[in-house]
Amino acid sequence: MKDKKSILGKITASREASLMIVLIILCFVIQMRNSSFLTPSSIGEMLKNNAVIMVMTLGMLNVLLLGGIDISIASTLALSGMSVGMLIKRGIVTNTFLCFMIAILIGAVCGAIVGLTISKGRVLPIIATMGFMYIFRGAAYMVSSDEWAGADALGSFKDFALNSVLGINNIIWIVIVCYAIFFIVMKWTKVGRMVYAVGSNREATMISGIRADRVEFFVYLIMGILSGLAGAMAVTVYASAQPNMMYAKEMDVIAACVIGGVSTTGGRGSVGGALIGALIIAIIAKALPLVGIDAIAQNTVKGLIILVVIVLNVVTQRTMDKNVLKGREM
Amino acid sequence: MAGKSGRTISNTPDKSLKSRLLCWESMMILLFILVNVLCICISPTYNIRNVFREMPKYLIEMFLLFPMAYILVLGDIDISVGAIVCLSATMASIATNNGVPFLVAAVIAIVVGMLCGLVNGCILTMFTELPPMIVTLATQIIFFGIAEIALGSGGSISLTDTAGYKAISAKIGMVPVVFFVVIVFAVIFTVILSRTTFGRNVYAIGSNRVAAYYSGVPVQRIRLLIFTATGLMAGICALFLTSILYGANTTTGKGFEMDAIAMAVFGGISTSGGKGRLLGGIISGFTIVCLRIGLGQINMHPQLILIILGILLIAAVLVPNISMAFTKKKTA
């Protein structure tokens, strides 16, 4: 039966391929309605505006692969972004590279604290990250001392998002590099496979000698590092640092993963899927005004799309399971 | 309790004085007293009259705590309650401004809430594979989105006729009406959860859903009922919130779900299901309300208050876990 599988069958069997088709149809329909959608500058602008979500999606992919969840990431982002913003505003650090390093360091510290609480303290991820969501967001306000850093205060740092190398914006380069690294790490290295192993069956991996709690710590650390990086990116892309920046955007990140076929119970999902999920989220946000849906209805449509995707997911999974059983009966 | 096989099943809690004093609820009462002492020490205006005056705006979140406790005991989670509050507050305000009498507006608020809860419940019971976290995340975005559309470009609405709302935000003596309503609901929800077959079924589902299903507990029907009841309570919460704010806006109810979950977890209700008592949740709810009033009176930065609440939330779970790990090491 296997060699008779048609091309169509192969495509529907792979989640990434079917998602890719959804993405292409989506692009095609929007292009039909509005021809300014698929131009290089429009796509570049869209990627730049969603770079923050796309980078954090990679970290969330890892967290979800372990069966965890992290809703503190937007707060981590605000803390690191706000710290960088204030450092520049006060003129303490002006070097762009150094700013990025500081943001990543702050993110790493946040991630390490979350990781320790979850892996060593055995606190449920949703509870721990809910607590840290309050704590880091509050810390961002404390750092800001009720001020914010505007475009004029950010000096040369905001130019980073305006400059480009080889015709591609710096911010998009960061996204490309992150995705390339994660694609290789998750697919072909020991660490990446360990994440999948722990997510699929924690007990079995522990018995086979993998330190599951270390993998868990590592995953939240990575999530923190990426959120820190995203914090610096958000400051340069939007040319402002406010303590309430990207409030509740962790939901967009989780939504991108879920649309990309990452299972929230762990063990299933891929970097490719996460990329497509993030792109679909980006395209929806970009396209709704283009096809004439009011900006005010965007959230509702976004929520509906998430709901439809996850329900479709279950329905296809059920029919797939049924077909497998049919094959056995024969 | 001796079973038919002659074995003694020791799942009835030990009722000795020592174990009663050392249980989580007694700790909570101690903490409640400590928090009040602390508040009296730091704030000169912290007295019973002021506490009752400032209580309603924090107390309304307790309406969400009661059903949230049930949901957590089931092993589920609902993060859309804040959005339901926003949507029903919006609908009630719009209805009132269009000349609908207060009672009808109240019914609209409650029905809208119930419908939202029903949507959550239907999706979760029809597609049981779906994690509640993700489904309610999606419905949260949708409910907030609908409220946003209904509120229009301004993003807020204020009541033109506040007569009926004034009645429910009134006081009896110095105690606000909402306090009595909360107490009544607290008693009802606590008794149902701890003293009825329905309550035991909820615990059974939370401890082992499959086993509960095979022993004849109508798992999905109970889940549907509880999610719908959650929506209903969110509607009632919205009604009282509207009576305080005299209107609604797009940020109404944001973060309420987190507060409700925090109260429950702080009160010893496990998010993994099957464990904890509502009494603990209620005491912790009042503790958090008092703490917020006290810290608010000394003009502490609201974000700093949230930091303290976050630390308390994590500590509430972390401390027992660590002490358990230590006792395990000792016995090993």
**CATH for B111:** 1.10.3470
- For range B258-282, the mean pLDDT: 85
Q: Which of A47-56, A132-141, A146-155, B167-176 has the lowest mean pLDDT?
A: A146-155
Instruction: Tell me, yes or no, whether A31 lies in a domain.
Output: no
Q: How far is A321 from chain B (nearest CA, A)?
A: 13
State residue B22's pLDDT score: 65
State residue B204's pLDDT score: 92
Contact A300 B317 (CB under 8 A): no
State residue B12's pLDDT score: 55
- Contact of A132 with chain B, judged by CB distance below 8 Å, is answered with yes
Q: Which of A71-80, A143-152, A178-187, B31-40 has the lowest mean pLDDT?
A: A143-152
Nearest-angstrom CA–CA distance, B32 and B34: 5
Average pLDDT across chain A, whole number: 82
- Name residues 143-162 of chain A within 8 A of B (Cβ): none
State residue B19's pLDDT score: 64
State residue B107's pLDDT score: 93
Contact B310 A264 (CB under 8 A): no
State residue B90's pLDDT score: 92
State residue A29's pLDDT score: 81
C-beta separation of A137 from A250 below 8 A: no
Q: Which of chain B's residues have a Cβ under 8 Å away from the Cβ of A317?
A: 129
Count structural domains, chain B. Answer: 1
Domain hosting B166: range is 52-296
- Name residues 58-97 of chain B within 8 A of A (Cβ): 77
Instruction: Tell me, yes or no, whether A326 lies in a domain.
Output: no
Q: Which of chain B's residues have a Cβ under 8 Å away from the Cβ of A258?
A: 134
Count structural domains, chain A. Answer: 1
State residue A48's pLDDT score: 83
Nearest-angstrom CA–CA distance, A273 and B226: 34
B297: left (phi over 0), alpha (psi -120 to 50) or beta: alpha
Whole-complex ipTM = 0.78
End-to-end CA distance of chain A: 11
* pLDDT of A2 above 90: no
pTM over 0.90: no
Instruction: Tell me, yes or no, whether B321 lies in a domain.
Output: no
CB atoms closer than 10 angstroms to residue B225: 18
- For range B5-25, the mean pLDDT: 59
- For range A180-200, the mean pLDDT: 86
Rg (CA), chain B: 21
- H or E, element range at B249: strand B247-249
CA-based torsion, B152, B156, B158, B159: positive or negative:
positive
Instruction: Tell me, yes or no, whether A220 lies in a domain.
Output: yes
- Contact of B33 with chain A, judged by CB distance below 8 Å, is answered with no
Nearest residue on chain A to B325, judged by CA atoms?
Answer: A121
Instruction: Tell me, yes or no, whether B314 lies in a domain.
Output: no
Instruction: Tell me, yes or no, whether B3 lies in a domain.
Output: no
A165: pLDDT confidence band, cut at 50, 70 and 90? confident
Domain hosting A224: range is 56-250
Tens-digit pLDDT profile for residues A226-270: 999 999 888 888 888 888 888 778 888 888 888 887 877 777 888
* pLDDT of B4 above 60: no
Give the nearest partner residue to B141 out of A128, A265, A302, using CB atoms: A302
Q: Which two tokens stand for residue A126?
A: 């949703």
Nearest to B242 by CA among B142, B105, B139: B105
Instruction: Tell me, yes or no, whether A48 lies in a domain.
Output: no
In three-state secondary structure terms, A13 is helix
Average pLDDT across chain B, whole number: 84
Give the nearest partner residue to B77 out of A126, A137, A314, using CB atoms: A126
Q: Which residue has the tokens 């399971």?
A: A321
Q: Which of chain B's residues have a Cβ under 8 Å away from the Cβ of A306?
A: 134, 137-138, 141
C-beta separation of B283 from B267 below 8 A: yes
- The strand pair at B156-158 and B247-249 is best described as antiparallel
Q: Which residues contact A161 (CB under 8 A, 6 or more apart)?
A: A48, A169, A170, A171, A233, A236, A237, A239
Instruction: Tell me, yes or no, whether A13 lies in a domain.
Output: no
Q: Which of chain A's residues have a Cβ under 8 Å away from the Cβ of B306?
A: 134-135, 137-138
Instruction: Tell me, yes or no, whether B28 lies in a domain.
Output: no
Tens-digit pLDDT profile for residues A94-106: 778 888 889 999 9
Instruction: Tell me, yes or no, whether A316 lies in a domain.
Output: no
State residue B229's pLDDT score: 94
Instruction: Tell me, yes or no, whether B261 lies in a domain.
Output: yes
Instruction: Tell me, yes or no, whether B58 lies in a domain.
Output: yes
Q: How far is A309 from chain B (nearest CA, A)?
A: 10
Among A69, A124, A299, A316, which would you mutate to test the B interface (most chain B Cβ atoms within 10 Å of its Cβ)?
A: A299
Of the ranges A314-323, B205-214, B315-324, which is most confident? B205-214
